[in-house]
């Protein structure tokens, strides 16, 4: 039984297609992050799961129950919003129990739930305050509390940390992670922040133009991006995508970029399909953090590139190198001194590379 299952879901606003044939499943207790640039349809998808938006095609199942036409309040979900959406005229207590009162839960049960949750989230001292008298972090906590008291099957978070300042955001991120560890409730979480997605999710679904590009564990998303969009979207700075061709001779495969005679051997690479590789146009993908200034293991490929630019950011520096007129970025500790405009010896960790078909932009 899947806690949440979405089948062939499509949604348009007028003539604009927002979601296209979305398929998604979540197991009990998992933390799914919907990640993507703004306008990719992730918030619409979340609203559809909540029942706040109608569906054009497809179905939403919660606990094997088709809820596509069920009212939001009957879906056994709770939602936390970006603007917190606390009812301004009610105090914290009234905010938190509003839903239970609507559901006609008994007074004793309401009090019990309220006490439990408000202690758990440490807002028990704030119960009589109005939302306007709370700080950003407190509001956030009350909003989560309002969701918690309903004891939902699924928690929906809609960019809950975007309104907080950088420091508080990191704190609240950890609190949400702890919360999930303790409660083990299924979560669907929408964000455009990749760090949030990586640190919170057990699964990440990366969306673009209303389509899920890849739905996988954070490790696989990072290490084995399924197309150039994912490769480019995840990581900061993002993965270097060097254009070139493959060359296959006597069972050995190598990569050559245009106008260069350097052959990068890629024998260890785990190809999806090992045929028709010779002369294939590809993107050679390597992350800036997998380029080193000294040899780290035997497999490393040594290459000489000219350093063009250095960006110092405290604990590290981002260097830009020129590889046959294509930019290659690398991340080094800031203690390393590298002269600009001179050729530098670099080492590519070939166990960490990705290859993409230059035409389809899919991983090969």
Partner 1 sequence: MQDKTHSSYKQLEQKSKYTNMFLRWFLYFVLVIFALYFIFPLYVMVVTSLKTMEEIRQGTLLTWPSGLNFDSWLVAWGGRGYGAGDTFLKPYFWNSIKMVVPAVFFSTFIGAMAGYVLTKWRFKGDKWVFLFLLFGCFIPYQAILLPMARTLGVLGISNSVIGLVLVHTVYGIPFTTLFFRNFYVSIPSELVKAARIDGAGFFKIFFKILLPVSTPIIVVTIIWQFTQIWNDFLFGSTFSFGEAAPIQVALNNMVLSSTSVKEYNVDMASAIIAGIPTLIVYVLAGKYFIRGLTSGAVKG
Q: Interacting stretch for partner 1, rule CB under 8 A, among 85-93, 190-198, 214-222, 238-246? A: 85-93
Interactions with partner 1, residue window 338-357 (CB under 8 A): none
Number of residues lying near partner 1 (CB under 8 A): 29
Quick one: 63 exposed, middle or buried, by C-beta within 10 A (0-12, 13-18, 19+)?
middle
Q: Give yes or no for a contact between 200 and 157, defined as CB atoms under 8 angstroms apart.
A: no
Task: Could you list the beta-strand ranges (E) of 161-239.
Answer: 186-191, 203-208, 211-216
Q: Interacting stretch for partner 1, rule CB under 8 A, among 66-74, 193-201, 218-226, 236-244? A: 66-74
Instruction: Quickly list DSSP for 148-179.
Output: HTT--SEEEEESTTTTS-HHHHHHHHHHHHHH
**Rounded Cα gap, residues 116 and 355, in angstroms:** 51
Q: Which is nearer to partner 1, 93 or 280 (CB)?
A: 93
Q: What are phi and psi of 121, to 5 degrees?
A: -95, 5
In the bound complex, what is the minimum distance in angstroms from residue 156's beta carbon to partner 1?
9
Rg of the Cα atoms in the chain: 25
Interactions with partner 1, residue window 251-270 (CB under 8 A): none
Q: Is 72 in the site for partner 1 (CB under 8 A)?
A: yes
- With b for 16 or more beta-carbon neighbours within 10 A and e for fewer, the 104-131 pattern comes to ebeeeebeebbeebbebbebbebbeebb
Q: Is 54 in the site for partner 1 (CB under 8 A)?
A: no
Q: What are phi and psi of 88, to 5 degrees?
A: -65, -30
In the bound complex, what is the minimum distance in angstroms from residue 77's beta carbon to partner 1?
7
In the bound complex, what is the minimum distance in angstroms from residue 63's beta carbon to partner 1?
17
- What's the gap between Cα 294 and its chain centre? 32
Q: Is 109 in the site for partner 1 (CB under 8 A)?
A: no
The helix (H) or strand (E) run that includes residue 264 is strand 264-265
Q: Is 139 in the site for partner 1 (CB under 8 A)?
A: yes
In the bound complex, what is the minimum distance in angstroms from residue 191's beta carbon to partner 1?
16
Query: Out of 58, 99, 137, 237, which residue is the one contacting partner 1 (CB under 8 A)?
Result: 99
In the bound complex, what is the minimum distance in angstroms from residue 127's beta carbon to partner 1?
16
Q: Give yes or no for a contact between 223 and 231, defined as CB atoms under 8 angstroms apart.
A: no
Q: Give yes or no for a contact between 4 and 186, defined as CB atoms under 8 angstroms apart.
A: yes
Q: Interacting stretch for partner 1, rule CB under 8 A, among 87-95, 323-331, 339-347, 354-362? A: 87-95
**Rounded Cα gap, residues 28 and 171, in angstroms:** 26
**Rounded Cα gap, residues 104 and 73, in angstroms:** 12
Query: Out of 17, 20, 56, 81, which residue is the one contacting partner 1 (CB under 8 A)?
Result: 81
In the bound complex, what is the minimum distance in angstroms from residue 240's beta carbon to partner 1?
40
Q: Which is nearer to partner 1, 45 or 234 (CB)?
A: 45
Q: Is 168 in the site for partner 1 (CB under 8 A)?
A: no
**Rounded Cα gap, residues 171 and 174, in angstroms:** 5
Query: Out of 86, 161, 172, 230, which residue is the one contacting partner 1 (CB under 8 A)?
Result: 86
In the bound complex, what is the minimum distance in angstroms from residue 84's beta carbon to partner 1?
7
Q: Which is nearer to partner 1, 134 or 328 (CB)?
A: 134
In the bound complex, what is the minimum distance in angstroms from residue 88's beta carbon to partner 1?
5
Q: Is 77 in the site for partner 1 (CB under 8 A)?
A: yes
Q: Interacting stretch for partner 1, rule CB under 8 A, among 46-54, 206-214, 254-262, 318-326? A: 46-54
The helix (H) or strand (E) run that includes residue 326 is strand 326-333
Q: Is 358 in the site for partner 1 (CB under 8 A)?
A: no
Closest CA to 303 of 359, 345, 358, 245: 345
**Residues within the interface to partner 1 (CB under 8 A):** 47, 50-52, 71-73, 77-79, 81-89, 98-99, 102-103, 131-132, 134, 139, 146, 158
């Amino acid at each position: 039984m899947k806690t949440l299952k979405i089948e062939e879901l499509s949604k348009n606003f007028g003539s604009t297609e927002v979601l296209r044939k979305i398929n998604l499943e979540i197991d009990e207790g998992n933390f799914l992050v919907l990640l993507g640039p703004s306008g990719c349809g992730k918030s619409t998808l979340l609203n559809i799961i909540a029942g706040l938006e109608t569906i054009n095609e497809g179905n939403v199942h919660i606990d094997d129950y088709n809820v596509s036409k069920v009212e939001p309040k009957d879906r056994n979900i709770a939602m936390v919003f970006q603007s917190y959406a606390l009812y301004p005229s009610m105090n914290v207590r009234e905010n938190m129990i509003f839903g239970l009162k609507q559901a006609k839960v008994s007074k004793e049960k309401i009090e019990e739930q309220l006490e439990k949750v408000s202690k758990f989230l440490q807002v028990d001292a704030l119960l009589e305050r109005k939302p306007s008298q709370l700080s950003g972090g407190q509001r956030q906590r009350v909003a989560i509390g309002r969701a918690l008291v309903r004891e939902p099957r699924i928690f929906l978070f809609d960019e809950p940390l975007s309104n907080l300042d950088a420091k508080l955001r990191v704190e609240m991120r950890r609190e949400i992670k702890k919360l999930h560890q303790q409660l083990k409730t299924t979560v669907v979480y929408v964000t455009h922040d990749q760090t949030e997605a990586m640190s919170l999710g057990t699964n990440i679904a990366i969306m673009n133009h209303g389509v899920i590009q890849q739905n996988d564990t954070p490790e696989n998303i990072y290490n084995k991006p399924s197309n150039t969009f994912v490769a480019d979207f995840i990581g900061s700075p993002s993965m270097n995508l060097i254009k070139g061709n493959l060359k296959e001779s006597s069972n050995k495969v190598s990569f050559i970029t245009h106008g260069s005679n350097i052959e990068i051997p890629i024998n260890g690479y785990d190809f999806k399909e090992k045929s028709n590789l010779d002369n294939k146009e590809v993107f050679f993908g390597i992350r800036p953090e997998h380029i080193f200034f000294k040899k780290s293991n035997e497999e490393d490929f040594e290459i000489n590139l000219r350093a063009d630019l250095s960006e110092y950011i405290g604990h590290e520096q981002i260097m830009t190198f020129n590889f046959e007129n294509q930019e290659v970025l690398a991340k080094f500790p800031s203690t390393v001194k590298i002269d600009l405009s001179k050729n530098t010896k670099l080492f590519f960790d070939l166990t960490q590379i990705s290859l993409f078909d230059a035409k389809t932009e899919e991983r090969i």
